[in-house]
Chain A
Amino acid sequence: MNTIKLYFRSMGMLVKSQLQYPASFCMQTLAQLVMEAGEMLAVILIVDRFERLNQWMPGDLFFFFGMMSVTFYLTEFFGRGVTGNFPSLVRSGQLDTLLLRPRGVLTQVLCSAIDPRRIACIAVGTAALVIGSRMSGVQWTFLKALAMVESILLGILLVLGLFLIEAVFSIHSVKSVELVNALTYGGRSACQYPIDIFPRPLRVLFTVIAPFALTLHVPAAYILGKPLYGWPDWTAFVTPLAGAALFGVMYLVFQKAMKFYRSTGS
């Protein structure tokens, strides 16, 4: 419980730091808004051009876009310590400083940064979710709402887990940013569209290795009333656990990597 309190206290302080530079903060938030609105524009153009993508109607596409946008940028908002620039923590020696305090390293990394500018992207994503569910005429039920909340929360764990891969590489002093970016930012770009429009290799990549399809698309398709691959409804509550599983595995790998770090030095 104390850890959660520490996290929120840290967040309060980080917001204070950001507000030390109000003009910069506003400009950057605005830039984020323009950027994410541009992403959504791409969806609008596709919708405008094609009547449908496989079985997906325009409203469905907005909904998929919104799910990814909200999930990814909530992660960047609250988990900036992990998604930001972990390799620089290693290079600058800040990681040593964290080891000098009686707390877990990952806890402290999470407490070290947030990115409130992402609120703009989250707002765009939320708008896309509202528009999408209206256009597709989603009949909201308690179960559907539950599926959405579960999907987003576990999706956050998934994104954190993917960024932990980058962290582990940097601890082993391997430069691999491009490779990992393909999974994180690449995953975000690709999986804002439903998985079944992609060729097989990409479907495998984003189902087995970076399971965005399992965590976000299965529940989204269930909410839209068009189950992915015709899977039964209950799968929408089970497959998102893949996100938690990936995070769990990466958490253990990260702890192992920290052991390596402490035995090899910097």
Chain B
Amino acid sequence: MSYIAVDGLDKRFTVRKKREKGILREKTVIHALQDVSFAVERGELVGYIGPNGAGKSTTVKILSGILTPDGGSVTVGGRVPWKERREHVRHIGVVFGQRSQLWWDVPILDSYSLLKDIYRIPENEYQRRLAQLTEALQLGDFLRTPLRLLSLGQRMRAELCGSLLHGPELLFLDEPTIGLDAVSKLALRDFLKEENRRNGTTILLTTHDMEDIAALCPRVMVLGHGKKLYDGALPELLSRYDTQRILTVRYEAEAGLPELPEGCAVTQEAGNYKITYAPEKMPTAQLISLLQSAGSIRELTAQPQNIDHLIAAMYREMDL
């Protein structure tokens, strides 16, 4: 049996809304998850994406034992999360990008020491893990600084350390790189890869940052309107939507563009023409020779479409 086995998961929320008139409130049922099934093996790194409100957080909450589903079955390491909450959470770690789990006003080392008591981590095990994480996350300089005085990047590293002290088998990350600068982002990704490789920690990552997914997750699941829409490799998913290329051209002298065939979209920006086209219909060589006929070209750059655009195209097509 797989480490995480989810079968036919179903969750509904009842929301009460005030009617425009009167004091009676209307009940609406939101189907947050419908018949979601998947399996994750030990040691996998899985990205979980979908637009806001797709049901990502609901899934994570059910898998971490906070929520009870309305239907379907879930086991994580053979345990049903919401039935054996305490035993279950001993083996998982959760990091929310926007919510702290450490104590605000005390040095982070004190927070860790309290987590040791909460999780009943043996002293020598705690010291070993702490030393390892302090080095890997470079926490040494601010172990004795209160959380509230740390920068966002430092805080995220501190949170990660807190969620890994008890050596969880499974780590949930919810938007871990939100608001981080480029250096912190890259360092965080490297750390997660290393943690996964060295300790075999299974990682489930929800994010809107597609570069996180591209850099970390060999496998990605797409969720929309509470249903699972895709489960597989990211490049494969993208290739379905990656049908267009962008060519940016700049002429020596101010020259008008030649007449372009249908299917080419043009935007103009400070003397640059940006042409979006589908190479399948309009071969690149043909397009370039067409452009050359209008004047001498000073600069020509070709680039693939931005990954965010592809995802947006995918969401559009899936009607999300």
Contact = CB atoms under 8 A, between A and B. Distances in A.
Interface string A14-25: 001100100000
Contacts of A265: 11, 13, 32, 58, 61, 67
Interface of A: 2, 5-6, 9-10, 13, 16-17, 20, 93, 96-97, 99-103, 108, 259, 262-265
A174 B187 CA distance: 45
B264 to A, nearest CB: 48
Interface residues of B, number: 33
Contacts of B119: 101-102
Interface in B80-107: 82, 85-87, 89-90, 92, 94, 99, 101, 103-106
Interface string B117-143: 111100000000000000000000000
Contacts, number: 68
Nearest to A105: B85
Given A17-B105, A262-B82, A265-B13, A100 B66 contact: yes
B110 A13 contact: yes
B104 to A, nearest CB: 7
B14 interface: yes
Contacts of B87: 102
Which 8 pairs, one residue from A and one from B, show the smallest C-beta to C-beta distance? A17-B105, A263-B68, A102-B90, A102-B86, A99-B66, A6-B117, A20-B105, A102-B89
A248 B7 CA distance: 39
Contact of B103 (A17, A93, A262): A17
The DSSP consensus for interface residues of chain B is mixed
Contact of A101 (B103, B118, B146): B118
Given A97-B99, A97-B101, 10 more contacts: A5-B117, A6-B117, A6-B118, A9-B114, A16-B106, A17-B104, A100-B101, A101-B119, A108-B118, A264-B14
Greatest chain B CB density within 10 A among A13, A263, A265 is at: A265
Interface of B: 11, 13-14, 32, 58, 61, 64-68, 82, 85-87, 89-90, 92, 94, 99, 101, 103-106, 110, 113-114, 117-120, 146
A103 B86 contact: yes
B89 A100 contact: yes
B114 A13 contact: yes
Contacts of B106: 13, 16-17, 20
A189 B105 CA distance: 34
B94 A100 contact: yes
Contacts of B61: 96, 265
A263 B61 CA distance: 11
Contacts of A100: 64-66, 89, 92, 94, 101
Contacts of B113: 9
A175 to B, nearest CB: 13
B117 A9 contact: yes
Greatest chain A CB density within 10 A among B64, B67, B82 is at: B67
A13 B103 contact: yes
Nearest to A21: B105
Greatest chain A CB density within 10 A among B66, B68, B94 is at: B66
Contacts of B90: 102
A85 to B, nearest CB: 15
B289 to A, nearest CB: 59
Contacts of A16: 105-106, 110
Contacts of B105: 16-17, 20
B67 A262 contact: yes
A10 B103 CA distance: 10
Contacts of A103: 86, 118
Given A13-B103, A16-B110, A20-B146, A99 B120 contact: no
Contacts of B104: 17
A99 B85 contact: yes
Given A101-B118, A103-B118, A262 B66 contact: yes
A99 B89 CA distance: 8
Greatest chain B CB density within 10 A among A9, A20, A93, A101 is at: A101
B117 A263 contact: no
Contacts of A96: 61, 66
A10 B92 CA distance: 22
